[in-house]
Amino acid sequence: MFIPRTCQLDRRPLSGYAPRPPKIFRSIVFPVDFSGTCKETAPYVRDLAEFTGGTVTLLHVLPERSAWYGAADVHSGFDDYEVLRKLKTIQMSALVAFRDEYFNGVECQIRIESGSVADRIIDYTERSGTDLIMMPRWRTANPAGSFVSPVLEKVLRNAACAVWTSPRSDQLKPFTGFHSIVCTISPNTIPSEYVNETMALGTSFGGRVSFVSAVTIAGSFTEDPRVLSTEVAKSGCPVYVEVGPVGHVVRHVAEIQSADLVVINRSRKPHFVGGYKSHMNEIVFESPCPVLCLPGKMTAASIDIIQERHLQERYFLAAAAC
């Protein structure tokens, strides 16, 4: 049955419409340690928040006493509380100054926690319903030989929300959107939720999406990813399947596509089926642009681990020889 309605046409030219901010990443947590890397990343975080209309929380974590290299042997009892209170007062003032310098024009709040840095970041973002954590990567290898700091690695693996990181914060360009997104996919299993989230990300920011899959051994994989995933097939996006180390393949395709974001998926499998599986460290180290790590379901498979520890050791030895 046709019901006539009275409507009024909006005859304004298209140029009269302001683009709507994407309804994504509206609650952003930016852990602040006041380092040079943190300061270099701050303008990018601010620009992203302005683009999405999101709120930024500047989170500073005072390390637990056991991380203060013997300070706990000197102070005890009431002194512990007094020292912590004074430190919080000092760091709160520093956070206010940091906010005023780097986050003018966006909604921004400050927060101080104390304890294990990674655990406090993860716990706070879960309690606050955070959409995105933004943490840059250290420029050099840490003493354990990994090119991802223990704090960042733990957050990447355990945070309930998406985590953004940048391998080269000193080379970050002003954020203007995600125009070219490269999505990494496993040659064996491609979670539909992961593909759909990446496509939605591209739609929200008006960016094009490409898929890349790395085959570590020539001839070990013959299926086209479009056969394994109807979502990839329906997308009509370019799909690259190349032989080589995962990090090298992702970097090559990201450079071909002039990507400004690489998307990876992490899964948290039960320990009895192998625990965490991803090429996260390798991709973060090799990527020519920022990396966004999307959380997966507990039983979802993403990118399989193949000699991740071996590759980290090889990169560390290569860097030491330079």
Asked if 31 and 121 touch (Cβ cutoff 8 Å), the reply is: yes
* Boundary-marking domain end, from 112, 138, 166: 166
Count CA within 13 A, CB hemisphere, residue 117.
Answer: 18
Is the domain of 293 the same as that of 160? no
Asked if 255 and 125 touch (Cβ cutoff 8 Å), the reply is: no
Give the range of the structural domain holding residue 317, as residue numbers without chain letter: 177-321
Give the pLDDT confidence score for residue 306 in this predicted structure.
28
Is the domain of 142 the same as that of 190? no
* Boundary-marking domain end, from 123, 142, 166: 166
* In-domain check, residue 172: no
Give the pLDDT confidence score for residue 129 in this predicted structure.
93
* In-domain check, residue 223: yes
Phi (first) and psi of residue 55, to 5 degrees: -105, 135
Is the domain of 192 the same as that of 285? yes
Is the domain of 54 the same as that of 97? yes
Highest mean pLDDT (candidates 14-23, 261-270, 308-317): 261-270
Average pLDDT over residues 77-99: 82
DSSP 222-251: -S-HHHH-HHHHHHT--EEEEES-HHHHHH
Give the pLDDT confidence score for residue 267 in this predicted structure.
60
Exposure string over 112-132, b if 16+ CB within 10 A, otherwise e: bbbebbbbbbbebbeeeebbb
* Boundary-marking domain end, from 127, 143, 166: 166
Q: Spell out the alpha helix ranges (H) of 186-289.
A: 192-205, 225-228, 230-235, 246-256, 280-286
Long-range contacts of 173-178 (CB under 8 A, 24+ apart): 173/260, 174/43, 174/44, 174/47, 175/44, 175/47, 175/48, 175/51, 176/47, 176/51, 177/51, 177/205, 177/206, 177/207, 178/202, 178/205, 178/207, 178/260, 178/261
Asked if 212 and 197 touch (Cβ cutoff 8 Å), the reply is: no
Asked if 285 and 147 touch (Cβ cutoff 8 Å), the reply is: yes
Is the domain of 311 the same as that of 197? yes
* In-domain check, residue 14: no
DSSP 97-122: HHHHHH-TTS-EEEEEEEE-HHHHHH
Asked if 253 and 213 touch (Cβ cutoff 8 Å), the reply is: no
Is the domain of 183 the same as that of 312? yes
* In-domain check, residue 309: yes
Alpha-carbon distances of 74 from 70, 90, 100, 114, 116, rounded to whole Å: 7, 21, 35, 19, 20
Asked if 23 and 54 touch (Cβ cutoff 8 Å), the reply is: no
Average pLDDT over residues 117-138: 93
Is the domain of 187 the same as that of 124? no
* In-domain check, residue 57: yes
Give the pLDDT confidence score for residue 230 in this predicted structure.
73
Is the domain of 290 the same as that of 193? yes
What token pair was written down for 275? 């625990």
Dist. CA 134–CA 117, nearest whole Å:
14
Average pLDDT over residues 111-133: 95
Beta bridge partners of 215: 243
Is the domain of 295 the same as that of 207? yes
Q: Please tell me whether residue 75 adopts helix, strand or coil conformation.
A: coil
Phi (first) and psi of residue 308, to 5 degrees: -60, -45
Lowest mean pLDDT across 64-78, 85-99, 226-240 = 64-78
* In-domain check, residue 69: yes
Average pLDDT over residues 103-127: 95
Q: Which amino acid is at 285?
A: F
- Residue 279 pLDDT greater than 50, yes or no: yes
Is the domain of 129 the same as that of 185? no
Residue 10: pLDDT band by 50, 70, 90 thresholds?
A: very low
* In-domain check, residue 8: no
Which residues, at least 6 apart from 25, have a Cβ–Cβ distance to it below 8 Å?
Answer: 48, 49, 52, 54, 131, 132, 162
* In-domain check, residue 9: no
Mean residue pLDDT across the chain: 77
Instruction: Provide the domain count of the chain.
Output: 2
**pTM listed for this prediction:** 0.77
pLDDT tens, position by position, 164-195 = 999 888 888 889 999 999 999 887 777 788 88
Phi (first) and psi of residue 53, to 5 degrees: 75, 25
| CATH number for the domain that contains residue 71 | 3.40.50.620
Is the domain of 246 the same as that of 268? yes
Is the domain of 149 the same as that of 213? no
